Chains A and B, each alone.
Chain A
Amino acid sequence: SQQGEEDPQALSIQEGENATMNCSYKTSINNLQWYRQNSGRGLVHLILIRSNEREKHSGRLRVTLDTSKKSSSLLITASRAADTASYFCATGGRTGANNLFFGTGTRLTVIP
C-alpha cells in the first residue's frame, strides 16, 4: 500500500516547545504533502514537498524528505495552543497513479 504511517500516534507538549512528527511510506512517490485536521473538520493543506527536494519551510513549519529511507518529518517550531490538531501525511504516486493516500495521523496536543 502507498499509505503513509505517522509516528508518534499522539504527542503532547508545552506551548513554546517544538513538535516533530514523522511519516514513513512504502512505495515510490512524486511528492509528499502534510495536512492538518482540527477535530471533526475538513483537512487543510500545510505544505507539499516534491521527491527531488530534501527540505522545505513555511512559516513555523519545516518539512524534510528522505526518499532513500522513504520517510518525512514535520517540525513545528515554537508551538502554540492553536496548533492542537491531528496532522497527516499524504503521498501522491508516480505518474499514472491518481490517488492520494493518507496516513493514520499524529494527534498533537499543545498545553498552554
Chain B
Amino acid sequence: DSGVTQTPKHLITATGQRVTLRCSPRSGDLSVYWYQQSLDQGLQFLIQYYNGEERAKGNILERFSAQQFPDLHSELNLSSLELGDSALYFCASSKRGGGDTEAFFGQGTRLTVV
C-alpha cells in the first residue's frame, strides 16, 4: 500500500460527459502529480501541484482541469469526454517537487468512455 488513495477505481461514462477523479496523497506529501496512461503506453504527465499551487503543466487538454485543496487532496476534472480519453489515470505524491524524492503512486482510476 503506497498510502496514496485514488477514487473511484473504475468509471464508465458516455461521450460528452464530465467526471471528477479524486486523489488523497500520502500523509506529509505536499506535491501531487497527475498522469494519463493509455493502453500499453507510457505515462503522459498532465499536471503537478505543490502545496495548493500549480507548479508544472504537461500535455493536459483544455477540457481537463485540476486543483489541489487546502487539505492537499487533489481532483482532476475531465469534461466533454471523448472515446480517446479512455485510459488509466494515476495520481502520485512526493514530499517535494522537482522529482527530488521518490513518488508514490495510487492504484489508478480506469476510465472508460463509451
Residues of A at the B interface (CB closer than 8 Å) are 3, 30-31, 33, 35, 40-45, 48, 88, 90-93, 95-105
Considering the complex, give the chain B residue whose CB is closest to the CB of A32. B99
Do A98 and B55 have beta carbons less than 8 Å apart? Answer: yes
Q: Given A104-B41, A105-B42, decide whether A43 and B90 contact each other with a Cβ distance below 8 A.
A: yes
- Shortest distance between the CB of A46 and any CB in chain B (Å): 9
A91 partner residues in chain B, CB cutoff 8 A = 99
Q: Which of B99, B100, B103, B104 has the most C-beta atoms of chain A within 10 angstroms of its own C-beta?
A: B99
Do B107 and A42 have beta carbons less than 8 Å apart? Answer: yes
Residues of B at the A interface (CB closer than 8 Å) are 2, 4, 31, 33, 35, 41-43, 45, 48, 50, 55-56, 58, 88, 90, 92, 94, 97-108, 110
Do B104 and A45 have beta carbons less than 8 Å apart? Answer: yes
Do B90 and A42 have beta carbons less than 8 Å apart? Answer: yes
Q: List 5 A-B contacts (CB under 8 A).
A: A31-B99, A48-B101, A98-B48, A98-B99, A100-B98
A3 partner residues in chain B, CB cutoff 8 A = 42
B50 partner residues in chain A, CB cutoff 8 A = 98
Give the contacting residue for A97; candidates B56, B104, B110; CB below 8 A. B56
Do B45 and A101 have beta carbons less than 8 Å apart? Answer: yes
B105 partner residues in chain A, CB cutoff 8 A = 35, 42-44
Q: Which of A31, A88, A103 has the most C-beta atoms of chain B within 10 angstroms of its own C-beta?
A: A31
Bound together, the chains give a CA A100 to CA B46 distance in angstroms of 10
Bound together, the chains give a CA A30 to CA B98 distance in angstroms of 8
Considering the complex, give the chain B residue whose CB is closest to the CB of A94. B98
Give the contacting residue for B92; candidates A30, A43, A98; CB below 8 A. A43
Bound together, the chains give a CA A105 to CA B45 distance in angstroms of 14
